[in-house]
Amino acid sequence: MSYQYLLYDVQSGVATITLNRPEKLNALLEEMQPELVDALRKAAADDQVRVLVITGAGRAFCAGIDVSRLEQQAAGGSIFKLKKLTAPAGYFVLDLVNFPKPTIAALNGPAVGAGASIAIACEMRIAAEGARLVPAWVARGIPPDVGTTWLLPRIVGPARAAEIIYTARPIEPKDALAMGLYNKVVPAEQLAGAVADLAGAIAANPPIAVEFAKRAMQRAADATLADALDYETYVQKVSFGTEDYKEAISAFLQKRAPHFKGY
């Protein structure tokens, strides 16, 4: 698939998906959904990709769903058409949340509504100093979308999530950092370097172990401790049989840098 609204690039084991409507602050259109799904699935299937980064072109991460498109639909007086437009707005989040490799949101600017949801759906978030999260849903007369009601309480807890959603107040980067929504906040000119450092550190590790670690954390979220221990034991036993495990041990004993191949 060729992309009209996205940029897709792979460098040194890191796939970067850039939302690319800078003239509209990367606001989401219905037509962007299949492009996002295709790009996510392409990166998931590529053995050369070890980390995924999502960012925005220009001065915003993502302004959420394109409100002008919603206004056009609402003016038509058809609730069915409005529902048909907004219902698919979040289906790509399943591919993002279930992405088998680590995911990082590089917030180059504001993330509004569904744009905030995309950032929240990534495992890690590094933000420029001006990158506010704007949970604007109820202020626009709608409840949250793109899986936010499921994702946000799992990150900040149910009480904090309720406050964020019900008040619709913008969250400054320093506050997002304090509540665990952001991993790091850096000056805008340092964002690319900070993201590259984090992605590079992850990509340098054996990919099978990293993917098993992610899968174990995902399963543990809805498992008992006993079940989590059982799964950890299982994936460790599988990992013992990989060439990367042997390389990791050899490199450690020989006091040299390891070279992992992904098998």
pLDDT digits (tens, 9 = 90+) for 115-169: 999 999 999 999 999 999 999 999 988 899 889 999 999 999 999 999 999 999 9
- The larger pLDDT score, comparing residue 27 to residue 86, is at 27
Domain assignment of residue 235, given as a range: 207-254
Residues 155 and 39 in one domain: yes
Do 165 and 212 belong to one domain?
Answer: no
8 A C-beta contact, residue 9 and residue 54: no
Contact 207, 15 (CB under 8 A): no
Kindly report the pTM of this predicted structure: 0.90
pLDDT computed for residue 5 by the predictor: 95
**Cα 96 from Cα 75, distance rounded (Å):** 32
User: Is a pLDDT exceeding 90 seen at residue 87?
Assistant: no
Does the residue 43 lie in any domain?
Answer: yes
Based on the domain organization, do 211 and 107 belong to the same domain?
no
CATH number for the domain including 42?
A: 3.90.226.10
259 domain-assigned: no
Residues 94 and 224 in one domain: no
Give me the number of domains the chain comprises. Answer: 2
Comparing 74 with 92, the larger pLDDT belongs to 92
State whether 124 and 217 are in the same domain. Answer: no
3-class state of residue 142 by DSSP: coil
134 and 166 inside one domain = yes
Residues 111 and 212 in one domain: no
> Contact, 144 vs 117, CB < 8 A?
yes
How high is the pLDDT of residue 210? 96
| Residue 67 confidence (pLDDT) above 80 | no
Q: Same structural domain for residues 66 and 10?
A: yes
Q: Is residue 241 part of a domain?
A: yes
Q: Is the dihedral of CA 66, 190, 133, 95 positive or negative?
A: positive
Query: Mapping DSSP to helix (H, G, I), strand (E, B) and coil, where does residue 224 land?
Result: coil
